[in-house]
A and B are shown apart, each in its own frame.
Chain A
Amino acid sequence: MVHLTLFEKLWNAHVVADLGEGAALLYIDRIFLHERTGSIALKGLVEKKRVIRHPESVFCTIDHIVDTLPGRTDDTLVEGGKAFIQTTRASARAAGITFYDIGDARQGIVHVISPEQAIVLPGLTLVCPDSHTCTQGAFGALAWGVGSTEVEHAMSTNTLRVKKPKTMGVSFNGTLMAGVTAKDMILHLIAAYTAAGASGYAVEFYGDAVADLTMEARMTLCNMAVEFGAFTGIIAPDDKVIDYIKGRPYAPKGENWQRALEYWQNLKSDKKALFDKKITIEASAIKPMITWGTNPGQAIAIDGQVPFPAQIRDDHQRAAAEKALAYMDIAPGTYLTELTIGGAFIGSCTNSRLPDLRKAGKILKGRKVAKGVRAICVPGSSQIKRQAEAEGLDKIFIEAGFEWRESGCSMCFYAGGESFGFEERVVTSTNRNFESRQGPRTRSHLASPETVAVSAIMGRIASLSDLNEEVGNGTL
């Protein structure tokens, strides 16, 4: 008997044709688009006079360029952005695909709303011209980011030519310490094994600490698989997945639900399956993490010192560290908690779901954002925004001094519209700290929403324990 990993099972179930040398023509079940890159793909199809093979398998949202300011319209602060929105709307309608427009109650960031609608399901393949599509691997689906040409390929044929990646198993054993989150797990992993550590691999996450995570936290973990260089990240579906999906709009119904449950039973790596590479991490050793540099692998425990580049042996890593520290305006050996900040951002497909907002809200309640800090919260979907408001979270954020926005990608990335300002230091719950990612020469520090909330209050990079010390025991 052959022992297969989850990845291999998903792969095998979708092979339309073997293309030799480990490549295959893979069947694609679902395709998701957004106005930034989807508009170009839809236009490309029309130009080549190609038809969409199964329009019912294609979905599209408006999230990347649209404003997140209250009362928004097609007008956006992004120069030329209106054309992206309007082209996408017109093309989506003409193509007969499902479209979540501005103002639609289901609108939101693509990787947040796909699970909300149960468009992603265990055992499916799903692609989107967006690198964080791997977020949806949390459901036991093979979901990955592709380019515009590839998504045109997927829409015209419901297939893609894919070279089979190698498999990597990453096990988080044991239990996380209190106050440590999925964001800290993934930053810890990338810091230990570099941003290219999983280059060429599909990564499966497992172990007790992964099983303990909520679905929302599992999405955070898988979201940053691409920052680890991985083809995608996946987690085997369990009861949490089934409970999450059940009854949602695109969840299988009736007999099909039973059929699905049966099929999903088998979606796990066989006990004796072999990964090409395995990594084991003790969950209890993970501390709250934050990045100091310009790639997500340049991260340390929040109470730690940034490295002295002179001590880094590898030439490339040393050069990269020197360049990053210069860009970030941080001296070697600095404690990050000494750095004052000008911006705080809670949002993005990494960390803007309801439990994230609740945890940040708990910290912000009855407190105020420090003077000189611009703090913004952007819920991941319109649905999350409504739920949060029903719980009164919006008031907590606003009273603390946060802006409370409509859903979208917002200041996760800079497209020429809003930003925190030139060379501003920002603590952010997003996934990329690349140069100028959040605006011209902004200095982004990636961390969990909890760390963002605490830092916003303290006006400097700070962790939960700093706050507890400041206000005395027992408040949090």
Chain B
Amino acid sequence: MEPFSTIKAVAIPLMQINVDTDCIIPSREMGKVSKTGLGEGLFAGWRYKGTSGREINSEFILNDAKYKQAQILLSGSNFGCGSSREHAVWAMVEYGFKVIIAPSFGSIFYNNCIGNGLLPIILAEKDVISLADWIVEDPQKNRLTINLEKQTVSGPEVMAYYFELAEQHKNMLQKGYDVIDLTLLRQDEIAAFENQDMKNRLWAKLI
């Protein structure tokens, strides 16, 4: 995973609530036992015309040249609700997104983001809306700067918004750690728990 520090990039406001993971990547786009090859399927149901083809739907915001090379997505509350498919995050990362800003996220999706170096930022709804309003004026010019160290979202003419992020999540994103490797360093603690647990909950063991 690539370490995350600061980015300045074009942002796309996809201002809908409850954007679910079936919308982010339809099931039919997950045709291989693989974590890659998914960027093309991102928002396929909206990005393309019809249901399985690749004819561009020019009305969908992702296809609007104004938002070329966007790396930040703004959306409404409960972004990434629904299915646990990590493909939704893999597809967003592969497409080039680095940050998602929304008032709230589906909880499985949020964790999947952290595990894949995609920064989920929670801001108050009114703040997301005012950012979106400012961006649409001139998306290529009105770029957002995301500073992970300071935990801020800012732009040349907008004040910096502070966002909360758990220290361990920040740490993982900044260092680009593989979280499984980190936990594997705690084998002793896990073994100690298991020893004690054999006494407390012998009935729960499958041995």
Q: Is residue A43 within 8 Å, beta carbon to beta carbon, of the partner chain?
A: yes
Does A135 lie at the interface of the complex (its beta carbon under 8 Å from any beta carbon of B)? no
Is A335 interfacial (CB 8 A cutoff)?
no
Asked if B84 contacts A147 (CB within 8 A), the reply is: yes
**Which residues in B have their C-beta under 8 angstroms from that of A432?**
20, 22, 82-83
- B81-96 CB contacts (< 8 Å) to partner A: 81-86, 89
B106, A229: Cβ atoms closer than 8 Å: yes
B115 x A16 contact (CB < 8 A): no
Which residues of chain B come closer than 8 Å to A295, judged between CB atoms? 18, 20, 81
* Bound CA span A147–B82, Å: 12
Q: Using known A-B contacts A25-B183, A260-B203, A320-B16, determine if residue A129 contacts B189 with beta carbons closer than 8 Å.
A: no
If A23-B168, A131-B108 touch, whether A37 touches B201 (CB-CB below 8 Å) is: no
Stretch at the interface among A100-108, A154-162, A386-394: A154-162
Closest beta carbon of chain A to B93's beta carbon, Å: 12
Contact (A440, B104) CB under 8 Å given A83-B33, A260-B203? no
How distant is B103 from chain A, measured CB to nearest CB, in Å? 9
Bound Cα distance from A156 to B178, whole angstroms: 13
Are A436 and B203 in contact, with the CB atoms below 8 A?
Answer: no
- C-alpha spacing A84/B193, complex, angstroms: 35
Query: Hey, which chain B residues are within 8 Å of A48, CB to CB?
Result: 180
**A160-172 interface mask toward B, CB cutoff 8 Å, 1 = contact, 0 = none?**
0101010000000
Residues of A within 8 A of B82 (CB): 131, 226, 432, 434
Q: Encode A135-156 as 1/0 by CB contact (under 8 A) with B.
A: 0000000001111111011001
Asked whether A19 is an interface residue with its Cβ less than 8 Å from the other chain, the reply is yes
Partner of A21, one of B23, B77, B166, B202: B166
Binds A, one of B2-10, B24-32, B54-62, B138-146: B24-32
Q: Is the CB of B34 within 8 A of A123?
A: no
Contact B84 A145 (CB under 8 A): yes
B108 contacts across to A, CB distance below 8 A: 131, 144-147
- Please, how many angstroms separate the alpha-carbon atoms of A40 and B104 in the complex? 28
Contact B22 A157 (CB under 8 A): no
Are A252 and B180 in contact, with the CB atoms below 8 A?
no
Look across to chain A and name the residue whose beta carbon is closest to the beta carbon of B197: A27
A37 touches B85 (CB 8 A): yes
A87 to B166, CA, bound (A): 36
Does A440 contact B52, Cβ atoms closer than 8 Å? yes
Chain A residues within an 8 Å CB radius of B193: 16, 27
B39 located at the interface, meaning its Cβ lies under 8 Å from any Cβ of chain A in the complex: no
In the assembled complex, the Cα of A181 lies from the Cα of B190 at a distance in Å of 43
Of A208-216, A408-416, A446-454, the one touching chain B: A408-416
> Does the CB pair B76–A316 fall under 8 Å?
yes
Q: Does A121 contact B (CB under 8 A)?
A: yes
A196 at the interface (CB under 8 A from B): yes
Tell me the smallest distance from the CB of B155 to a CB of chain A, in Å.
23
- Shortest distance between the CB of B122 and any CB in chain A (Å): 10
Instruction: State how many angstroms separate the Cβ of A92 from the closest Cβ of chain B.
Output: 13
With both beta carbons as reference points, the residue of chain B lying nearest to A42 in the complex is identified as B33
Could you say which residues of chain B place their CB within 8 Å of the CB of A422? 51
Contact B18 A196 (CB under 8 A): yes
Q: Does B186 contact A (CB under 8 A)?
A: yes
What residues on B are CB-neighbors of A124 within 8 Å?
Answer: 204
State A129–B83 Cα separation when bound (angstroms).
Answer: 9
Which residues of B lie under 8 Å from residue A25 when comparing CB positions?
183, 186, 189-190
Docked complex Cα distance between A147 and B90 (Å):
11
Complex formed: what's the CA distance from A43 to B36 in Å?
Answer: 13
Contact of B166 with A163 in the complex, beta carbons under 8 Å: yes
Which 5 residue pairs are nearest across A and B when measured between Cβ atoms? A440-B51, A196-B78, A147-B86, A260-B203, A147-B112
- What are 16 A-B contacts defined by CB distance under 8 Å? A13-B200, A13-B201, A23-B166, A40-B86, A48-B180, A56-B207, A123-B204, A131-B84, A147-B86, A161-B183, A229-B81, A250-B206, A295-B18, A413-B83, A414-B26, A440-B52
